[in-house]
Structure 1
């Protein structure tokens, strides 16, 4: 995998995939699928619909791979495409689905221990319950900034239609609210 910043690495993978490198697209999918997943789930989709949206978005990128003007901005392209596809899927479902409290991505561990799994599930459940109490704007901002990172603040600003300079302070306030909610519940560990 290419070294450097995430946008540079993504551009290298896009260019390699365009050149026919077999593993380049797989590496891109492995790295950015959690982002696509979180954006879709953040739009209130259930697990099955989210899986469909994620697949549709990746197929769309594959179809548009040669037309992607700025390969460094593939994460932003994926965020926008996922948001649009999620909104389309939501409209088709013709109802407002609740934000799920399960984890966004189930990654199997090499060692499974029931105690640690139960503790992690309980912690995750409490965290997602507290997360669900945040305003939708905070939920969306935290989902995007946690996965996209500081290098993608420009994309986050465009996606959420907010000034780039307000992302960090707003994120800090959202995290403080989340922390306070968890502390009130006695769930912060």
Structure 2
């Protein structure tokens, strides 16, 4: 398979900006990416994000891939790395977990702590750049908005949504008002 002339031609055409060649590469290797993500037992949304990150990385590095015939191995390695990134991120405290309310029958102190966290989160959210605020608001809308619709509304590629979401959430987690409260929740 390393001497697959069709693959080499597709990569060369995609490097030249041929959208049909790019689409053919994605169609050809999307099942590989999906299968790797399934082996890591990722949820559907995480599979979408990991896959989008793989394709984004390929867009960024397509011109630097020296051996086009080795592309399947590169895609598999990148997919595994993205799955591991998603799994590592899952181990951190989630912003959504951070907002969980007190248990039924909780004390006034528990309620106050939840309110304090919500206020800090709203303040940190207000400090995010407008693009992050809009993206996160659309991603956490109820009912969930499809990536294609978010892409159209924000004028960004579907493949860029997951990585941008991760950067926005990371920035939110680093907000000085949230750091002590997040550490408290994780502890």
TM-score by length of 2: 0.46
TM-score by length of 1: 0.46
Q: Which has the larger radius of gyration?
A: 2
